[in-house]
Structure 1
Amino acid sequence: MSYADELREHARIAILRMLEDAPRYTSNVSMMTDLLQTFGIGYTRDQVSGEVTWLKEQGLVTIEHMAGFLVVTATVRGVEVARGVVTYPGVQRPRPGA
C-alpha cells in the first residue's frame, strides 16, 4: 500500500471518529479540516470534502449544504466503523483502546 493510500485510510477513520465524538454525530468540513491537522493529517478542505464524499458513497455519512458549509453526519454504520464494531475496506480499523 502506498503512503497516499495509508494516509487516506487514516483520514477516513479520523473523520468518522470525530463525528462519533461530536454532538449529534455532526460536524462541518471546515472544523474537520482543522482537527485533522492536529492529528498530523494536513489535508486541505477540498481533500476533506473528497473523503467525506467517498464516505457518503459508502453509506457511512450523510451530507447537507447549509449556509455555505458542508455539514456531515455519521450514519449508524459509520459510527460502528468508528468504534471498530465492523470493518470497512478503505477505512483504517481503529486500534484497541484508541
Structure 2
Amino acid sequence: MALQDIMKEHQRLVILRLLAEVPGFDLNESILQDGLIAYGLDISRDGLRTQLAWLQEQGLIRLEKLGATQKAVLTSRGEDVATGRAVVPGIKRPRAGE
C-alpha cells in the first residue's frame, strides 16, 4: 500500500474519532484541520474537504454549510467505525484499547 493511501486511512479515522469525542458529535472544518495537524497528519483545507466529502459519501458523517465553511456531524454508522465496531475499507481500523 502506498504511503499516500496509508495517510488517507489514518486521516479518515482521526476525523471520525475527533467527532466522537465532542458533545453533539460535530466540529467545523477549521477545528478538524487543527486536530489532524495535532496528530501529525498535516492536511490542507482542500485535502480535508476531499476527505469530508468521501466520509459523507460513505454515510459516516453529514456535512452542513456554515457560511464559507462546513460543519461535520458524525452519524451512528460513523461512530461505529470510529470505535472499531464496524469496518469500512479505506479507513484505518483502530487498535484494540485505543
Does TM, scored on the shorter chain, surpass 0.5?
Answer: yes
Percent identical pairs in the alignment equals 37
One-letter amino acid of the structure 1 residue matched with residue 20 of structure 2: E
Does structure 1 residue 76 correspond to structure 2 residue 68?
no
Q: What residue is the counterpart of 2:90 in the other structure?
A: 90
| Aligned pairs (5 A) from 1:51-70 | 51-70=51-70
One-letter amino acid of the structure 2 residue matched with residue 42 of structure 1: D
Q: What residue is the counterpart of 1:5 in the other structure?
A: 5
Q: What residue is the counterpart of 1:42 in the other structure?
A: 42
Equivalent residue of 2:72, what SS?
strand
Cα distance in 1 for residues equivalent to 2:32 and 2:46: 12
Equivalent residue of 1:88, what SS?
coil
Deviation for aligned residue 1:66: 1.1
Aligned residues: 98
Structure 1 stretches of at least 4 aligned residues deviating more than 6 Å after TM superposition: none
Gap runs ≥5 in structure 1:
none
Q: What residue is the counterpart of 2:24 in the other structure?
A: 24
One-letter amino acid of the structure 2 residue matched with residue 76 of structure 1: S
Deviation for aligned residue 1:23: 1.6
One-letter amino acid of the structure 1 residue matched with residue 87 of structure 2: T
Q: Please list the CA deviations of residues 49-94 of structure 1 after superposition, one character each: whole Å capped at 9, or x if unmatched.
A: 1100000000000001013220000100000000000111000000
Q: Please list the CA deviations of residues 3-40 of structure 1 after superposition, one character each: whole Å capped at 9, or x if unmatched.
A: 00000000000000000011210001111101101100
